[in-house]
Each structure stands twice: as C-alpha cells, then as structure tokens.
Amino acid sequence: MSKTLYLYRSSEDSCILHDGYIQTGVMPHSIERHIELNPKIKWLETYWLPDIFKNRYKRASLQAHERKAGGKQVIESRPRDFPDEGGGRGLLPGQSG
C-alpha cells in the first residue's frame, strides 16, 4: 500500500506539501529534490492548494465555551465525574485546580 501526497510548486526553490485537504508543510527545496529525498511516497504535483489548517478548522475559545455553558460558576458548581481527581496534584477532593 503506498501513500499519495501532493506537492505545489510555490517557487523554483520551494514547495508546499498537502494531503488533498490541508496544507501540511513548506519545504525549502524544489519539487524534484523533495521527490528524490522521499522516494517511498507517491507524489503528485498539483496546481491548486487547499486552505491552511487554521482557516479550515477554527479554534474553539474558552470564552465561547463559557458563554454556551453559562459561565465559570455554573461549570464549577456541577457535580464532578471524578471527585478525587485533584488528589494527585495536592488538591483536596472536590477542589478544582
């Protein structure tokens, strides 16, 4: 079973790797050199690029989570699934860290 990954020629001396969905890296050498360095992977040159990871998958922020959950006090007042989980960090049972 061989993997197929994709290369985009960004300039004569650099290329961008992607898996067809997300850009995975930028290399400071040509496509030809990259293929030479990684012969076990099936490379296909493309003329298009997918979005970079941060544009495709937005990071969930804690503030947005707290707004949906009702705030920090609501979250902390809920019963804990593992009441003794703080014991290993020197906390008393039931305290949050």
Predicted pLDDT at 3: 79
Alpha carbon separation from 75 to 59, 62, 64, 81, 83 (Å, rounded): 20, 12, 13, 12, 14
CA distance 71 to 63: 9
Task: Note the pLDDT of residue 1.
Answer: 54
**Residues belonging to the chain:** 97
pLDDT value of position 30:
95
Q: What is the pLDDT of residue 52?
A: 73
Structure-token pair, residue 60: 């969930």
Q: Give percent above pLDDT 70 in the chain.
A: 52
Identify the band that residue 12 occupies on the pLDDT scale cut at 50, 70 and 90: very high
pLDDT-based confidence at residue 59 (cuts at 50, 70, 90): low
Taking only the tens place, the pLDDT of each residue in 22-47 is 888 899 999 999 999 999 999 999 99
Query: Which residue is listed with tokens 């969905």?
Result: 21
In this prediction, residues 75-87 reach a mean pLDDT of 60
Q: What residue spans of the chain are helical by DSSP H?
A: 31-37, 53-56, 62-69, 72-77
Residue 45: what are its φ and ψ, rounded to 5°? -80, 135
